[in-house]
Amino acid sequence: MTNPAASPLPRPAGDAVSLRGTTLIVAYRQASAERAENLRATLGFLQRTYCDFDLVLVEGDASPRFDLHALRAANLLYHFVEDPGPFNKARLLNLGARVSRSPVICFHDADMIGWPHLMRHAVDVLLDADISDVRTPHWSILNVAGGLKRRFCRTLDFAVFDSIRTTDLPPDVTRLYDNQSSGITFWRKDRFVTCGGYHEGFADWGGEDDELLIRATRLGLRWHSVPPPTFHLHHDAADRTALHTLAQGDPAKRALLTLTTGSTPQQLAGHANDLMRRNFGNGTA
């Protein structure tokens, strides 16, 4: 086994951005070496850029695959869930929420890099203002590949992305999503719990984020996004349009989504209560 002291995560810089005690929750499965590289870069960036936060990494697979020496940090809690079946991101994120103890939690994909000032702004809004229950600190998502991605992974410096604008993309950057509510999402934890959390019936790729967005907004939660893009570190993957089509065509996923979209307000409230009890017990997670 690699010496745990060999490669600690970076320490925050002197001008690190405080996240005011927020818990960042990352779900992960090492489907390729490139995804492992992306996770290392994402964790390294978070540790270098921010302070005053906890990090919960939940890995789901047949056996642990991520090299634990890359995880050494005082603010990091690692959980492994033995699950050789299709990747169940919803289950891992709910576990992360259960073990968190902060009033604000953030679900953070293992390959996403957000604007630091917008990350802090999301926390401030949820802690200090009664205007939002959920904040997504982006509107669109840009995919970063090639030399630009390699430069970021080497430096872990957001300045690599500072000059990128959606109207004039450099060669290594492409549009991934024009309108996306997931990737990095901040919640008031009590609202996440009473909403029911993620529906764990959504196994494999896709569906859980869309269903939660619809359920939360139908229940009256105030979910707000802001215009700047966030950045996705490229990895080998199947065509996303094909994946979306496959997820939308899955009968089980379609039935779960219909349960959320087609129910009356009273039925939806009962459904959320059922999910809350299933995912969080008495609702005080």
Q: What is the pLDDT of residue 66?
A: 80
Q: Residue 68 pLDDT more than 80? A: no
| pLDDT at residue 258 is higher than 60 | yes
pLDDT in tens, 213-226: 999 999 999 999 99
Which pLDDT tens digit goes with each residue over 95-152? 999 999 999 999 999 999 999 999 999 999 999 999 999 999 998 999 999 999 999 9
Mean pLDDT of the chain: 89
Mean pLDDT score, 245-250: 56
Assign 15 a pLDDT band (cuts: 50, 70, 90): confident
Whether the per-residue pLDDT at 204 is higher than 70: the answer is yes
Q: Is it the case that residue 174 has pLDDT exceeding 50?
A: yes
pLDDT of 6 over the 60 cut: no
Q: What domains, with CATH codes, occur in the chain?
A: 17-280 (3.90.550.10)
Task: Please tell me the predicted confidence (pLDDT) of residue 238.
Answer: 52
Q: What is the model's pLDDT at position 3? A: 28
Average pLDDT over residues 244-271: 82
pTM score, whole prediction: 0.90
pLDDT tier for residue 14 given thresholds of 50, 70 and 90: low
The pLDDT value given to residue 220: 98
Confidence tier at 23 by pLDDT (50, 70, 90): very high
pLDDT higher than threshold 90 for residue 270: yes
Q: What is the 3-state secondary structure (H, E, C) of the chain?
A: CCCCCCCCCCCCCCCCEEEEEEEEEEEECCCCHHHHHHHHHHHHHHHHHEEEEEEEEEEEECCCCCCHHHHCCCCEEEEEEECCCCCCHHHHHHHHHHHCCCCEEEEECCCEECCHHHHHHHHHHHHHCCCCCEEECCCCEEEECHHHHHHHHHHCCHHHCCCCECCECCCCEEEEECCCCCCEEEEEHHHHHHHCCCCCCCCCCCCHHHHHHHHHHHCCCCEEECCCCEEEECCCCCCHHHHHHHHHHCHHHHHHHHHHHCCCHHHHHHHHHHHHHHHHCCCCC
Question: Which residues lie across from 42 on neighbouring strands?
Answer: none
In the predicted structure, residue 246 carries a pLDDT above the cut 50: no
Instruction: Give 284 or 230, the one with higher predicted confidence.
Output: 230
